[in-house]
Amino acid sequence: MSQVFSEETHRNLLARIPHCTGREVSDWLRAVEDGPALFNFEEKVSWLRHEHNLAYGHAKAIIHEYDLRRAARKLL
């Protein structure tokens, strides 16, 4: 089972991503959107980690944010 981050930890990770990766969160979200059609959360995290050499926490935060935004779009 994957580790669950608090909302505060999630926001802190997102805030640090540009500094740590050199790319904005929006760039990473586009990369996920344009990436392979994976269904499982951990598969998406693994793909980001291996394809883009990201740390686990950053990859997980990006995928979590992607899923949150995708769910919000479906509600509109």
Confidence at residue 74, expressed as pLDDT on a 0 to 100 scale: 83
Residue pair 66/33 in contact (Cβ under 8 Å)? The answer is: yes
Q: How many CB atoms lie within 10 A of CB 28?
A: 24
Q: Domain range for residue 37?
A: 5-73
The yes-or-no verdict on residue 2 having pLDDT over 80 is: no
Confidence at residue 3, expressed as pLDDT on a 0 to 100 scale: 60
Q: What is the pLDDT of residues 26-75, one digit of tens each?
A: 999 999 999 999 999 999 999 999 999 999 999 999 999 999 999 998 87
Say how many domains are in the chain: 1
Residue pair 32/58 in contact (Cβ under 8 Å)? The answer is: no
Distance CA 54, CA 36 (A): 17
Q: What is the pTM of this model?
A: 0.89
